[in-house]
Structure 1
Amino acid sequence: MKKPKITVIGGGTGIPVILNSLRHEDVEITAIVTVADDGGSSGELRSVMQLTPPGDLRNVLVAMSDMPKFYEKIFQYRFQDGDGALSGHPLGNLIIAGIAEMQGSTYNAMQILTKFFHVTGKIYPASENPLTLHAVFKDGHEVVGESNIANYQGMIDHVYVTNTYNEEEPSASRKVVDAIMNSDMIVLGPGSLYTSILPNLVIPEIKQALLETKAEVAYVCNIMTQHGETEHFTDADHVAVLNRHLGVDVIDSVLVNIEKVPQDYMNSNKFDEYLVQVEHDFNGLRQLAKRVISSNFLHLKNGGAFHHGDSVVEELMNLVRIKHL
């Protein structure tokens, strides 16, 4: 019996948690990672070298690799303030950027690094060109650039992407569409709705593939609302935004955390983008998706509220086994 094929789409700090647990299962994994990040180290490197930003790819690479902890510490080491041009850059970003320059693209760099670090599965940037994220707000105002979106006070109506350095329509990286079409399950998130998940889904080829694939499409809903993106959102609001951007109700299953985050727990200084826990609207969810899976997916760590990767993956594996029979 062939292994189930699971493709995880997103970016940020959310999907590495799922991928790290998923790589211990008997499945074929593909990660499709956003390339619209224009802040911090990734933003600097993409601006200077006109390459797809390496930061989210770096975190996914670490999550899917069996590299020893010491190697991981080296790869994730961030140069300190005062280190001149290197300040704030993780060593891994510089390695990815260097190999991308040597091999002609970040896509090629990731294929080499997946072998070098014994990665379980495949890692593809969503596009082989850096993309610019545009957010159009309910009042008609448009903000350009992912790192600028949270600074505007208002509710986002929709987002779209453009190629950063040419006028062509954004396209998916090679093999991305095939991965989606041949999957048994597509996992969206967890991660920032407008800045980690949707920048992938609004690439026309990826959007079309999601509409046509026979795969189970599962969405791992965020635990907390996010400043500048999802204030006052319920879990059903998150799903409604995804479906609206895709044009039809694509989400088959929604995974929702029902464990309460302790009121005094959140470290607002460290995780200032998080506001309050996402409220539940189960009636709304049942109208938007075929299945709602609610459980304790909460993992409290370092002052933040994260998904417990093993608990989420246990539910995903139950779904994919049914689909794969």
Structure 2
Amino acid sequence: MTTSKKRNIVVIGGGSGLPVILRPLRDCNVEVTAIVTVADDGGSSGVIRNFMNIVPPGDIRNALVSLSLLPEDFLKIFQYRFDSSDEFFQNHALGNLIIAAMTEMSGDIFGAVQKLGRYMMISGKVYPVANVPLVLHADFTDGTIGSGEHEITMAHKVIERLSITTEAGQQPEPTSEVLFAIDHADMIVFGPGSLYTSILPNLVIPIVGRAVHQSNAKKVYIANIMTQKGETDHYTDASHIKAIYHNVSDHLLDYVLTNTAIVPEDYIDFQKWNEISTQVKVDTSEDKKLGVVPITGDFLKLRDQGAFHDGEKIAKKLLEILDNKI
């Protein structure tokens, strides 16, 4: 008796958006590979990066937890963040410290993550996009320039173009495993997550952008539910696509998934989330002009006074695309 080979889904991104679909995809009959940005320089990850000169571990930690089959109690320990009153460890996630320690033991972040993935019994793979910490650079429309993910985010300015380098100012080199995963993917998913600081930092690595462009995989962009202050004010789903094309290459995407369920304005606590934003609108006619098939629906999950993607619904729709049902 023969068994059908699992199809490969590569998910590219970072931040808090990536885990939203990694967990539900983990439980589907597919092989999942997460390719994670290494340009974060804020919070616990930024502190560890600066003190130890290693790849920021936070986004990698979240991806590992999302794909892990270990009991939730263990994962809660891995995700535990020390209290702000703990002077030395304040605001550090325990998992970040473990990843940092294993990086020192292994000699590089890639080996550390693969070993930790085995210990954590992950179903799938987690690959840092590069073996060294990277620096994101933004040219703003007002003529100024920003460097570093945190600085770019806090500037709240309109971004004209992104680029990325190593800390020495050189062109980044992705790992061979990243390129292999992209080349052998049946589907490549971008997001959900911040367009300019979670998704594009991976794609503006020239070799990665070219590999994605040349891949025969179905390529799906998951549009954000809400805009981001300064970065994507008044963006439609088509505006996000145009930004990807402008920074990487035209005709990179095949599908865009956009939520059309209404986000109640009185539900969102903008002060809690530290920015005023509006719902991303769908522009199906412009999507089609860009050569992208728009897929709309209720992909909304309201929690913690914020608007998020419903990972289960997204995963179901991705499998329909993979099965040629859309």
Which of 303, 306, 318 in structure 1 is aligned with 2:305? 303
Q: TM-score when scaled to structure 2?
A: 0.96
Q: Percent identity?
A: 46
What CA distance in whole angstroms lies between the structure 1 residues aligned with 2:208 and 2:151?
Answer: 25
Paired residue for 1:20? 23
SS at match of 2:10: strand
What CA distance in whole angstroms lies between the structure 2 residues aligned with 1:266 and 1:259?
Answer: 14
- Residues 1:66 and 2:59 are matched in the alignment: no
What CA distance in whole angstroms lies between the structure 1 residues aligned with 2:208 and 2:60?
Answer: 18
* Gap regions ≥5 residues in structure 2: none
Which of 4, 9, 12 in structure 1 is aligned with 2:7? 4
Instruction: Return 166-175 or 32-41, whichever deviates more.
Output: 166-175
Residue identity opposite 1:183 in structure 2: A
Which of 281, 284, 290 in structure 2 is aligned with 1:288? 290
Which of 122, 129, 137 in structure 1 is aligned with 2:140? 137
What CA distance in whole angstroms lies between the structure 2 residues aligned with 1:288 and 1:310?
Answer: 28
Instruction: Return 264-273 or 154-163, whichever deviates more.
Output: 264-273
Which of 228, 231, 241 in structure 2 is aligned with 1:229? 231
SS at match of 1:322: coil
Q: Quick check: 1:235–1:281 contact (8 Å CA) kept in 2?
A: yes
Deviations 1:276-304 (A, max 9, x none): 11122221111123311101000011111
What CA distance in whole angstroms lies between the structure 1 residues aligned with 2:299 and 2:153?
Answer: 26
Deviations 1:93-152 (A, max 9, x none): 000000001101111111011111110101000111100010111122100110011332
What CA distance in whole angstroms lies between the structure 2 residues aligned with 1:207 and 1:276?
Answer: 29
Q: TM-score when scaled to structure 1?
A: 0.97
Paired residue for 1:270? 272
- Residues 1:115 and 2:118 are matched in the alignment: yes
* Gap regions ≥5 residues in structure 1: none
Paired residue for 2:56? 53
Deviations 1:173-222 (A, max 9, x none): 23001100110000000100000000000111111101111000000000
Spell out the pairing of 1:1-325 with structure 2 (5 A cutoff): 1-164=4-167, 166-273=168-275, 275-322=277-324
Instruction: Quote the offset at 1:153 in angstroms.
Output: 4.5
What CA distance in whole angstroms lies between the structure 2 residues aligned with 1:315 and 1:241?
Answer: 24
What CA distance in whole angstroms lies between the structure 2 residues aligned with 1:62 and 1:107?
Answer: 16
Residue identity opposite 2:288 in structure 1: R
Instruction: Quote the offset at 1:274 in angstroms.
Output: 5.3
Q: Quick check: 1:110–1:123 contact (8 Å CA) kept in 2?
A: yes
Q: Quick check: 2:99–2:113 contact (8 Å CA) kept in 1?
A: yes
Following superposition, which runs of at least 4 residues in structure 1 exceed 4 angstroms of deviation? none
Q: Quick check: 2:156–2:229 contact (8 Å CA) kept in 1?
A: no
What CA distance in whole angstroms lies between the structure 2 residues aligned with 1:146 and 1:246?
Answer: 18
Q: Quick check: 1:222–1:278 contact (8 Å CA) kept in 2?
A: yes
Q: How many residue pairs align between the two structures?
A: 322
What CA distance in whole angstroms lies between the structure 2 residues aligned with 1:89 and 1:232?
Answer: 35
What CA distance in whole angstroms lies between the structure 1 residues aligned with 2:145 and 2:306?
Answer: 31
SS at match of 1:269: helix
1:225/1:93 CA distance change after superposition, 3 Å: same
Q: Quick check: 1:254–1:289 contact (8 Å CA) kept in 2?
A: no
Q: CA RMSD in A?
A: 1.2
